[in-house]
Structures are given as C-alpha cells and as structure tokens.
Amino acid sequence: MLINADLHIHSRFSGATSEKMNIETISIEAKRKGVDLVATGDCLHKSWLKEISQCNVIDEGTFELNGTRFILNTEVEAKKRVHHLLFFPNITSVWDFKAKIKSKSKNLETDGRPNVDMTGEELARIARELDVLIGPAHAFTPWTSMYAAYDSLKECYGELTEYVSFLELGLSADTNFADKIKELHRLTFLTNSDSHSPHPVRLAREFNRFEVKAATYKEIKKAILRMDGNKSVLNVGLPPEEGKYHESACSSCYTHYTLIEAERRRWKCSCGKKIKKGVKDRINERADFKESLHPDFRPNYIHLIPLAEIITKAIGQRNPFTKTVNKRWEELVDIFGSEIRVLIDVNIEDIARVTAPAITEAIQLFREKKVIIKPGGGGQYGTIELPTEENKDLMTIQLGPNDTQTSLFDY
C-alpha cells in the first residue's frame, strides 16, 4: 500500500510552537491535508508522551487517533547546534534513551526539542544500541544543521556514519540539490514539514510517500532502510525557492546576494548586519557534481504549493491566515476530501463548479507550473505570484527542474 507521511513536527511543548499542536488537532488536520501518518515529534517530553499514549495502540511503536497513525520521534539539538532526527521502535526505547542522555541535557524535561551536550557520533552510538534510527534534520540550513557545522557526514557522525540511514532535506532544498553531493547518495531522503502549527500552510507542507505493507513503525523503518521491497516512492515538498533560507541574504533587511557578492562583502550586508549563507550556495560549495546524479532508487520529487497560498493570491488576500482564505480552503477540502486531491487529482471542471473562478484559474496555473516564485532567504520565506501581463517576463523561476508532477496522479 501507499501511504503519505510527515515525519517531523513539533508539539506545543516545544519553543515557539502553537498551543493548537495537540494530538487531537494534529490527527484531524493531517487527514484534511491528505496525510495518513505523522511522526509525533517531541516524544522525549513527558507530557507529550502521555498524550500520545492515550491514542489507540496499533502495535508497540504505532498509535492511532481519528484515523491518523502516529510513530514516535523527536528532534534534538546536539553539539555545535546541529539538529538530529530520531525514530523510536517503542515507548521503552524512549525511556531508555532519555536515561542515557539525561546527564547531558539541562532542558530534557522542559523543552520538546531538548539540547544535549553530545556530538552526532555519541548520539548515534546510543541510537544504535537501542535500535533507534538517526539522521540529520534540515541538513543544509544556515543556523542549526549538519552542513552548517561540519563538512561531511563523517565529520559529524564519525565511526557511526554507516549507521545513519536518512537525511532530511529541509524546506529550502530538494533532491536535485542534495544529489550533487556524493556522500549522500546512499541515504534515503526525507521531506517533512517541521511544522510548529496545525495550519494547512504549515502541517504536511512537505511529506513522503512510502510503499509499505501497513502504516506502522516497523514498515516505515523498512522503507527508510529500503528492505523487503519497502521504500520511499515519492518526496513531496515546497519548491526550494520558497524556503526561508534558499538564497544567501541579510538576516535583518533580507537583501539577497550572490555567493560571489557575499564573499566580496565578507558576509556583511550594506545595512551592517550579517548575510546568512543560503542553502543553494551551501550545496553548490559542497557539490561533487555540477549536475545532480541520482542513485537508481531515488524517487521523484514533486513540488507542491500549499492550497491556502494559492487561494490567497487568487482572491487578493494579504496572507493565508485570514477567515476568507480559510473558508475557501474548507469549502474545497470538505467536498473533495483532502488538500492533495484538490491540488492534483480532482478534475478542474469539478473544482470550477464549487469555487470562485479566480481560485479555479489559480489551481490550473499551479498545475501547469506557471506560478512564479520569488526566492526566500535570510529567514524570510519566498513568495508566490500568479502570472500577470506585467510580471510575465519575470517568470525565470519555475517549479524546479525534472519536476514530474504526473506521478501524483496515480495516487
């Protein structure tokens, strides 16, 4: 069977996270996005773990509420501020893991995403002992990623490098960028939302589609390890240009710079503040190949723009969080079942029958890959625009190379 899974979110027990990130709301909203399974995030946090254990138990590592499955995972911030993702086979392994890192963390009981005074190698050693999966989270971002702190997987995970089985691409990168780096070719790439809110522009804005025999932890693990025929068959995510660290840009005034220009200025913006190196430049610096080379097993990557953003532009709203946008979004999702169906599967004539002509037209433009994206950088998300007479010559950035939108239609 094919399932859609978002394997990185945060609960309301993490910093800067919405109060609405409770298990009930997540279970309902995930379904409306079209996602079948969500990794819980924050599972080392006592109160969050308690909330998770109140769901129906499918097996020791899989839980269910309102038809959405959950598996246990967390993100931790280790030495050099590197973020790692960890996936746990059961609740016992969560307790055991906590016991082993307890002396190395000051906020283990208070922050959903704890800091630990350990290297990637030390963390991975404990992970291996307890049969926990580990890999770098949003591996290319400028603040808290593996490639911001280290030059290679080996530098980060040392002797345990071989144990690392996956890498999370993060919102500002995609497969075409990451496969320029040779050492990543053996890894399974994950595309996850890292959402701090259940709002549909955040939750499941990136997800993975896995071929599995059941929607359980064991089956997902096999898919990540590419065992017994299980595998990731599709990565789905924002166009990397929409990510907030895609291009090198000032973290204060958001002026964008090319790599050459930024270096010439010694990473100092004309406003005096620091220019943060964008994911695009970071990957191109690390690249072993000029053009990406994909290993045989690498699935397609499809670029999706959240429906609420498309509606926002279509009806001229200022942002996707307004009541009007929400109403239009709900109208479509209630009728057609999930956001993914509306974006990809439903006939455009059927959409036209139930929503405003401007929204139908915008969805059609998205499907034809005619939406324009102004790249993000310095911590500011990229923005989308619908083509008009005035901006049609600016249509230089489109939905990424080798974008094979059609394979979503098979779902």
Q: Is 15 in the site for Zn ion (CB under 5 A)?
A: no
How many whole angstroms separate alpha carbon 104 and alpha carbon 44? 14
Q: Where are the alpha helices (DSSP H) in 40-84?
A: 46-53
Minimum distance from residue 129 beta carbon to Zn ion (Å): 24
Minimum distance from residue 270 beta carbon to Zn ion (Å): 6
Token pair for residue 223?
């898919």
Pick between residue 252 and residue 398 the one whose CB is nearest to Zn ion: 252
Pick between residue 17 and residue 300 the one whose CB is nearest to Zn ion: 17
Candidates 123, 127, 173, 269: give the one binding Zn ion (CB under 5 A): 269
Candidates 80, 128, 185, 273: give the one binding Zn ion (CB under 5 A): 273
Q: Total number of residues binding Zn ion (CB under 5 A)?
A: 8
What is the helix (H) or strand (E) element at residue 220, kind and residue range?
A: helix 217-225
Candidates 76, 250, 283, 332: give the one binding Zn ion (CB under 5 A): 250
Pick between residue 97 and residue 366 the one whose CB is nearest to Zn ion: 97
Candidates 1, 99, 227, 253: give the one binding Zn ion (CB under 5 A): 253
Pick between residue 178 and residue 233 the one whose CB is nearest to Zn ion: 178
Residue 91: CB partners within 8 Å, gap ≥ 6? 49, 53, 60, 72
Residues from 57 through 116 that contact Zn ion (CB under 5 A): 83
How many whole angstroms separate alpha carbon 224 and alpha carbon 81? 25
Answer yes or no: are the C-beta atoms of 44 and 89 closer than 8 Å: no
Pick between residue 90 and residue 380 the one whose CB is nearest to Zn ion: 380
Pick between residue 34 and residue 243 the one whose CB is nearest to Zn ion: 243
Token pair for residue 245?
């660290």
- Name residue 390's amino acid: E
Pick between residue 100 and residue 273 the one whose CB is nearest to Zn ion: 273
Q: Is 128 in the site for Zn ion (CB under 5 A)?
A: no
Smallest CA-to-CA distance from 100 within 130, 60, 133 is with: 130
The interface region with Zn ion, picked from 136-144, 160-168, 220-228, 258-266 by CB under 5 A, is: 136-144
Q: Is 271 in the site for Zn ion (CB under 5 A)?
A: yes
Q: Could you tell me how far CA 248 lies from the centroid of its own chain?
A: 20
Cα separations in angstroms, 254 against 243, 259, 270, 383, 401: 13, 15, 11, 13, 26
Pick between residue 5 and residue 250 the one whose CB is nearest to Zn ion: 250
Q: Cα dihedral angle (138, 199, 34, 325), rounded to 10 degrees? A: -130
Q: Cite the beta strand spans of 175-219 per DSSP E.
A: 188-190, 207-211
Minimum distance from residue 116 beta carbon to Zn ion (Å): 13
Minimum distance from residue 388 beta carbon to Zn ion (Å): 29
Minimum distance from residue 274 beta carbon to Zn ion (Å): 8
- Tell me which residue has tokens 């922050």: 111
Smallest CA-to-CA distance from 190 within 13, 37, 58, 18 is with: 37
Candidates 25, 115, 252, 380: give the one binding Zn ion (CB under 5 A): 252
Pick between residue 252 and residue 322 the one whose CB is nearest to Zn ion: 252
- x/- map, 214-243, Zn ion, by CB under 5 A: ------------------------------
The interface region with Zn ion, picked from 63-71, 101-109, 270-278, 352-360 by CB under 5 A, is: 270-278
What is the helix (H) or strand (E) element at residue 276, kind and residue range?
A: strand 275-276
What is the helix (H) or strand (E) element at residue 129, kind and residue range?
A: helix 120-129
Helix (H, G, I), strand (E, B), or coil: what is residue 2? Answer: strand
The interface region with Zn ion, picked from 137-145, 227-235, 308-316, 323-331 by CB under 5 A, is: 137-145
The interface region with Zn ion, picked from 98-106, 149-157, 262-270, 367-375 by CB under 5 A, is: 262-270
Token pair for residue 408?
């979503």
Binding site for Zn ion (CB under 5 A): 83, 137, 250, 252-253, 269, 271, 273
